[in-house]
Structure 1
Amino acid sequence: MQQWFKSGSPWIWMTAGAVSISLISVIGLLSLIAWRGLSFFWPSPVHEFQMKVNQHAITQQTIIGEIYDRETIPTSQLRSAGVHLDGYREETATRYLVKTGNREFVELDFRWILAHDIEQMQTPEGMAVFERTQNGNFYGYLVAVSRDGNLIKNDLQNMLSDVLERTSSINEQLYDLQHDEIGRINYQIEKLRLKQRALEINNDLTEDKRQKIEADVQALKQEYAVLEKQLFALRDESARDYVVVKDMRGKEVQLNLSQVLDVYYPNDMSFFGKIGHFFAQLGKFITDEPREANTEGGVFPAIFGTVFMVMLMAVIVTPFGVVAAIYLHEYAGNHSVTKIIRIAVINLAGVPSVVYGVFGLGFFVYMLGGSLDKLFYPEALPTPTFGTPGVIWSALTLAILTLPVVIVSTEEGLSRIPSSVRQGSLALGATKAETLWRIVIPMASPAIMTGLILAVARAAGEVAPLMLVGVVKLAPTLPVDGNFPFVHVDRKFMHLGFHIYDVGFQSPNIEAARPLVYATAFLLVSVIVALNMTAIGIRNHLRERFRALEQ
């Protein structure tokens, strides 16, 4: 045994065991997040509960909803909370967390109901779930469908599907008209207003220029009036059709189909039908915009903002980090000042990220951005253009945050290149700059990509500094659109990490938001993995390409 310990084998097994435990823990954590997040998109059966009506607890006989959670708790805990359990003598009781929806007619969107109070629980056929733009889901039975003013009560599911498809097409036209054409006109009118004010500030506004601007504005307003008529006509056409639904109160309710996004019947679905619905809902989550205080809808703006900010940060940090590493390793001498700089770079990696956020807010936003506004955008003041948090300041802040990682990784890659390679290049007549550009940097490119991978992994998950320099709860427009100059780096943006924080801790409806926290967290991990895998693929390609130089 003593010889076995001296051989070092126990430490090898301990290291392997620690790595295995860490790997299993990571896989288990990701599996838990994926299961809790992706199961949200699986169509749950809608139950109809017939309740015992009594004066202490239940006043509504029928409850319709989805079971979100169930738990077993001691009856003593329920009695201490004031719950009456007449005739119930068991030590524990089961209760269900039921999502009832129908917010405008029912007081509680989520409610706990005791199994003791349930007389009958069933999953009836024909139960419809309406996904709406406002007030969440609506549960009930189809009674009639109104199409073009005609109330139809036969073949309701097919008729509703046809009418809803037509209404969805009209809503898409409304969205495109409002965000593209009308948005473009509003943007141009604002640009003309700022142009006129800039001429006034510079005392260069002549009567001819003023009349030209007014004529352009008038032409845009006339075009706006035409589009506005089309918008109102589409709204009237979209609001014409409705569906009559019988809810849990036993009352018939009219739902305007302009506010209905989808309708499905989970109790009537086959297994393959549920799989199709699962992928359809997952696609909507990825491609749609959020709604209902981010507790409903999708996260596409957050995905776009995260990827755009990370790519912009990578474009900024890579050249600065590589140039700094080349200077420290190839040009600066090995003296005390260089040692101090290296120690400072390493220490910068340990600074809390929120400190970088405070620095970005004070230096980039207020100082640099405010100066840019005074120099180039005085006509927009006091409304700031660059003197307010935006995606460019977020990218710069995270570039400074991840700069030490790129510098250290690049310098390590440069140190692994034999000095004989440099000397051979210089002996053949190449200059030092040519040697660096054609020999050293290509051979160090895998190490540069490694630093970029680490920088992307850290930057994509940071939230604290972004809360100060650009990220918001809901961004009405993306940083990229069809208006010149097409890429608007001064705009605020959404971020998956901040979206998780906002939904999980700032949501007014925490029960509805909880599954979205897991889904968004899994999506954020997937985005980071996708970005890292792309960078790793590029690194491996560069490594194979320049392997001959290393030999």
Structure 2
Amino acid sequence: MKKDSLKGWFNSGSPWIWMNAGAVSVAVIMTIGLLAVIAVRGLGHFWPADVIVADYQVPGSESRLLAGEVVQLEEVPRARLAASGLPVNAEGGEFMTRELLKVGNREVYGADFTWVVGEWLSNPRTPKDLIAVERREWGNFYGFLVNVKEDGKLVAEGEGAWNELQKRIARVDELHGNIAQLEKVDIGRINHGLERLRLKTRKLELDGRLDAQAQAELDAERDGWHAEYEVLEAELTALYQTFNRDSMTVRTADGHELEVSLGKVVRAFQPNAMSVPQKLGFYFAKLWEFVSDEPREANTEGGIFPAIFGTVLMTLIMAVIVTPFGVIAAVYLREYAKQGFLTRVIRIAVNNLAGVPSIVYGVFGLGFFVYVLGGSIDRLFFPEAAPAPTFGTPGLMWASLTLAILTLPVVIVATEEGLARIPRMIREGSLALGATKSETLWKVVLPMASPAMMTGLILAVARAAGEVAPLMLVGVVKLAPALPLNGNYPYLHLDQKIMHLGFHIYDVGFQSPNVEAARPLVYATALLLVLVIALLNFSAIYIRNHLREKYKALDH
């Protein structure tokens, strides 16, 4: 009886249902766990941790003071420490504690991070007056504020120096914004205008139309640009003089004093004296800086907004290119092509293209798009720029086209499957009512197949936004803080190189000179890339669901 009931249970299909449910549950748990690990390790980097000051004495040497953030703790076999040359006593437990301290003060110690043996640290404390200074270069400084100066003259010292320092940092930060506006926007616009004027002059010269009148007009326009530049240059010089006026004297925990210009300071704070609400405010300010600012310090500090912008813009341009081509190809194969051997071969080829390694598409994009197509465009339309290439070099357009070719098979297959699911009687009904074949296609078939098109687009976006290998060849670079979309004509600069979140992860994780500082940013950037892809996908899914509801009645 038991055997029959067990057999019936298997025949009912319940075991396979439970097996599939278990597999899905494991996959979801693993995905959530992975995202949780990335989030904790990445987002925890922005929390203002306490900075400890402790005595550190290696056996057989003098004690010295250390100040820094505890970044990592690990248990290390005693024998391993002894093998590394440390004077470890053979007696004691099998393991010892090793701590990674972020000590900053690179100009004093030569490195931002140092490993210490936890058992050799003693008397740890967290002084309230210890300051952490985040700088535009040379990393963080940890120590104590001595005084604040203006043009080398003492302004404040002792207890009153901290408030004075905060006021002057706020003023310097405002000046930094004004300088950035002048250099990148106003002077950038002038440089762009002068470059266009140079190219215009060269074009007239090549065409044999550079006569005296044309030269006079060009000289007048050039003089106007130069006059505007001289005004801005004078304003910029005055700003820099004020920007570099203030400084502060700081002292490390072990007594080294140095003077730091406030023009190099992003912010100064006292982490040990901050309350929880203050730390929360600081945390969210750092998060906002991460997603809205430009990178600095070899991409290990600052923000990653140019990489976010480049990723989203390139993906959107790719979607605009791949969708019409993929839909047209699918419509031809399903609605117009004669179904036979050749059509089957084309479908097999399309399916096989989806499995080609992405780096192959990168090589194709570099060879065909950049060198052949881009070089031809330069010779035909931009001879005045020679020998400097305009489109004959990697850039945004070629990166988007390469991704479009890479994701084209996905859109074709998804769209063709959507067209195949539309009942034949709907087509016949439309034709019977007097509609032509093209009217039936555009007004009945394609709207009903639009959810399938959106599914193909979702898959294409998910793959394209995370690609790295082909983009390294066709337009993505390590650092390109200037955005390809700005106020200079033609506004969208398709020839410009861009940053990309995927390549940024690779660069920070494997090419950074400061590995320990870069590691948390790898996790934070990876989490942000997942969120950007999810946001793009959710937008497409919302549109697909809206279209599905709109045409559901026709399906039945």
- Taking structure 1 as the reference length, what is the TM-score of the superposition? 0.97
The one-letter code sitting in structure 2 at the alignment partner of 1:343 is: I
Structure 2 residue ranges without an equivalent (≥5): 1-5
2:132 to 129, 137, 143: 129
Alpha-carbon distance in 1 for matches of 2:28, 2:357 = 27
Q: Secondary structure at the match of 1:261?
A: strand
Q: Is the 8 A contact 1:147 1:163 kept in 2?
A: no
Alpha-carbon distance in 2 for matches of 1:14, 1:251 = 65
1:74-223 equivalence runs, <5 A: 74-86=77-89, 89-147=92-150, 149-153=153-157, 154-223=159-228
Alpha-carbon distance in 2 for matches of 1:214, 1:519 = 51
CA drift of 1:87 comes to 7.9
CA drift of 1:266 comes to 1.2
Q: Secondary structure at the match of 2:100?
A: strand
Q: Is 1:263 matched up with 2:306?
A: no
Percent of matched pairs sharing the same residue: 56
Q: Is 1:455 matched up with 2:457?
A: no
Alpha-carbon distance in 1 for matches of 2:267, 2:240 = 18
Alpha-carbon distance in 1 for matches of 2:135, 2:285 = 16
Check 1:216–1:71 CA distance in 2 against 1; reply closer, same or farther (3 A cut): same
CA drift of 1:12 comes to 1.4
CA drift of 1:60 comes to 6.6
CA distances 1:452-496 after superposition (whole Å, capped 9, x unpaired): 000000000000000000000001411101100100011000000
The one-letter code sitting in structure 2 at the alignment partner of 1:261 is: V
The one-letter code sitting in structure 2 at the alignment partner of 1:507 is: S
2:439 to 417, 434, 443: 434
CA drift of 1:412 comes to 0.8
CA distances 1:77-127 after superposition (whole Å, capped 9, x unpaired): 111111102586332211110011111121221111112321321111121
Q: Is 1:287 matched up with 2:288?
A: no
Q: Is the 8 A contact 2:59 2:87 kept in 1?
A: no
Cross-structure match for 2:551: 546
Alpha-carbon distance in 2 for matches of 1:528, 1:168 = 33
2:277 to 272, 275, 278: 272
Alpha-carbon distance in 2 for matches of 1:531, 1:477 = 23
Instruction: Give the ranges of 4+ consecutive aligned residues of structure 1 lying more than 4 Å apart after TM superposition.
Output: 53-56, 147-150
2:243 to 238, 241, 244: 238
Q: Secondary structure at the match of 2:107?
A: coil
1:374-523 equivalence runs, <5 A: 374-523=379-528
1:27-42 equivalence runs, <5 A: 27-42=32-47
Q: Is the 8 A contact 2:104 2:142 kept in 1?
A: yes
Structure 1 residue ranges without an equivalent (≥5): none
CA drift of 1:326 comes to 0.6
CA drift of 1:235 comes to 0.5
1:316 to 296, 305, 321: 321
Alpha-carbon distance in 2 for matches of 1:81, 1:243 = 40
Check 1:88–1:187 CA distance in 2 against 1; reply closer, same or farther (3 A cut): farther
Q: Is the 8 A contact 1:321 1:404 kept in 2?
A: yes
Cross-structure match for 1:343: 348
CA drift of 1:221 comes to 1.3
Alpha-carbon distance in 2 for matches of 1:416, 1:40 = 50
How many matched pairs?
549
Q: Secondary structure at the match of 2:123?
A: strand
Q: Which one is further off, 143-152 or 328-337?
A: 143-152
Alpha-carbon distance in 2 for matches of 1:327, 1:377 = 36
Q: RMSD of aligned C-alpha atoms?
A: 1.3
Alpha-carbon distance in 2 for matches of 1:267, 1:548 = 64
The one-letter code sitting in structure 2 at the alignment partner of 1:68 is: V
Cross-structure match for 1:307: 312
